[in-house]
């Protein structure tokens, strides 16, 4: 299974976009990528990200 690098952008309550790099298989489900990034954000010191899947931007970069 070939792994890829994904960028997942999450909007937060402070109006900013926080972008996370997620390494996952190239055939990963978008929902799995979203939750991986969201849980990483949730454990950080940044303002809370919206947990709305439709608001996330997910893009494969490599």
Asked whether 12 and 47 are in contact (CB, 8 A), the reply is yes
Condensed to tens digits (0 to 9), the pLDDT of residues 30-42 reads 999 999 998 876 6
Closest CA to 58 of 26, 4, 19, 1: 19
pLDDT of residue 13: 87
- Whether the pLDDT of residue 56 is over 70: the answer is yes
CA distance 45 to 24: 24
CA distance 27 to 56: 18
pLDDT of residue 17: 93
For the chain, what are the domain ranges? 3-60
CA distance 35 to 56: 10
Condensed to tens digits (0 to 9), the pLDDT of residues 1-52 reads 689 999 999 998 889 999 999 999 999 999 999 999 988 766 777 778 887 8
């Amino acid at each position: 299974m070939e792994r890829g690098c994904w960028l997942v952008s999450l909007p937060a309550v402070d109006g900013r976009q926080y972008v996370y790099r997620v390494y996952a298989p190239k055939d990963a489900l978008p929902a799995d990528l979203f939750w991986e990034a969201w849980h990483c954000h949730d454990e950080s010191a940044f303002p809370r990200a919206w947990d709305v899947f439709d608001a996330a931007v997910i893009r494969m970069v490599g």
